[in-house]
Chain A
Amino acid sequence: ILNVEQSPQSLHVQEGDSTNFTCSFPSSNFYALHWYRWETAKSPEALFVMTLNGDEKKKGRISATLNTKEGYSYLYIKGSQPEDSATYLCAGTGGFKTIFGAGTRLFVKA
């Protein structure tokens, strides 16, 4: 895994909106994909780790999917709340390395 790209860089939504963002990674030599949530003034916290093509994980209103053949993962937030405001990091592991993307900064306005 050489590079992990996240888009968009930032996102502003209204409370109640559903939203999604993308993590792209080279599909060769892939082993695992991680999503972390990083709230301001706190430590990053793990949301999901996925390894299999077609994996879907869910935690409350947040879910994620993984496509290892085309090299992308989507993170979905249903009915965004102000407390969802954070930076969402993805990290790809392959070839004994873990590479982090630059993150998507989500702002949810009440």
Chain B
Amino acid sequence: DGGITQSPKYLFRKEGQNVTLSCEQNLNHDAMYWYRQDPGQGLRLIYYSQIVNDFQKGDIAEGYSVSREKKESFPLTVTSAQKNPTAFYLCASSPSEYHWDEQFFGPGTRLTVL
């Protein structure tokens, strides 16, 4: 079964802690994306990667970091520098590096900071 998996589904973090959200795809897609959703807002782009070992900041990258060491994996670390990390996080991939390509989404991770 091809698709995108994200883990965990729910995550609780204490203030001041870093936490890493997992995103894996077995679709052999080149590009991967991380989005954040807050109530009443559209998905906002945190980081994206069009190719292995390369990634670019999105609109709200401050307080986040990523890596793309393997084509199928694009983990997101929410650092203690992120002032308001409680949100729903979605990972996506697309077949090519072109931004107009259709995106395929994972089921998301809901992060709550206690």
Contacts and interface: CB of A to CB of B under 8 A. Distances in A.
Interface of A: 4, 9, 31-32, 34, 36, 42-46, 49, 51, 89, 91, 93, 96-103
B43 interface: yes
Contacts of B45: 97-98
A102 B99 contact: no
Given A43-B105, A43-B107, A97 B99 contact: yes
By secondary structure, the B interface counts as loop
B4 interface: yes
Given A49-B100, A93-B100, A4 B106 contact: no
B103 interface: yes
B42 A44 contact: no
Given A32-B100, A43-B4, A97-B99, A103 B42 contact: yes
B42 A101 contact: yes
Interface of B: 4, 35, 40-45, 90, 99-100, 102-108
Nearest to B101: A49
Contacts of B107: 42-43
Given A9-B40, A34-B102, A97-B99, 10 more contacts: A32-B100, A36-B105, A43-B105, A43-B107, A44-B90, A46-B103, A51-B100, A98-B99, A100-B42, A100-B43
24 contacts: A4-B42, A9-B40, A32-B100, A34-B102, A42-B107, A43-B4, A43-B104, A43-B105, A43-B106, A43-B107, A44-B105, A46-B103, A49-B100, A89-B43, A91-B43, A97-B45, A97-B99, A98-B99, A98-B100, A98-B103, A100-B35, A100-B42, A100-B44, A103-B42
B41 A31 contact: no
B42 A31 contact: no
A81 to B, nearest CB: 23
Contacts of A96: 99
A53 to B, nearest CB: 15
In this complex, the member of B42, B44, B45 whose beta carbon has the largest number of chain A beta carbons within 10 angstroms is B42
A46 B105 CA distance: 9
